[in-house]
Amino acid sequence: MPKIAAPSVAEHRLRQRDALLRAATELLVTGGVSAVTPAAVGAAAGLSRPGVYQYFSSGADILAAVIEDAFPRANESLRNALDGVAGPERRLETYLRETLRLAAEGAHRPAAALAAALAAAQLPAECLARLGELHREQAAPFLAALEELEVPELQLTARLLAGVIEAAMGAIDTGAPLALVTEHTLALVRFAVAPRP
């Protein structure tokens, strides 16, 4: 029987699964969906391919677990940041600040890799519905604030501002300072949602 490096078998299994998820996330971010195979994930986590199958049944199962790991943590962080924030302007600003803070921590990278896979039709069908649901949950506070601000052409405005946010995250990824990117992004968004005479 192999040795376990934890106080209990259950904790050992949890640690192994976490290591596999971390390895899968890194492979997804650096190599895309096609890089997330049981063999590659096992090798990256220091586990044999048969060992991976004790935790996940397939590459699609691993991707589904990455989705369930990455999005809910970011969504929870957004919910916590927005809890008790009054007024649509302040909620929008808080949402943007927290989104960019999470980007600086790299929390958006799995979602960006999954979005690229979705655009290239590489994402397994069983992952699509859940990914869409979690993305809608993530965007809901942003859309609600814009709606409450009565911005014209809500869906179009939201889509354009999402592009600004995506560009801001890209700037952070390439080394632009978080504080600078945040202030510029807030200025653009404030201008976009300001009432027009």
> What was the pLDDT predicted at 131?
78
> What was the pLDDT predicted at 12?
73
In the predicted model, what is the mean pLDDT of residues 167-194? Answer: 95
Buried b (16+ CB within 10 A) or exposed e, 32-65: ebebbbbebbbebbebeeeebeebbeebbbbbbb
pTM: 0.78
| 3-class state of residue 32 by DSSP | coil
Task: Grade residue 153 by pLDDT with cuts at 50, 70 and 90.
Answer: very high
Q: How many CB atoms lie within 10 A of CB 90?
A: 12
> What was the pLDDT predicted at 182?
97
- Measured between alpha carbons, how far is 104 from 109 in angstroms, rounded to an integer? 10
**pLDDT tens-digit map of 95-145:** 999 999 998 988 878 877 776 666 555 566 667 777 788 888 889 999 999
> What was the pLDDT predicted at 1?
39
Q: What is the mean pLDDT of the chain?
A: 86
**pLDDT tens-digit map of 23-48:** 998 898 888 888 889 999 999 999 88
Task: Grade residue 5 by pLDDT with cuts at 50, 70 and 90.
Answer: low
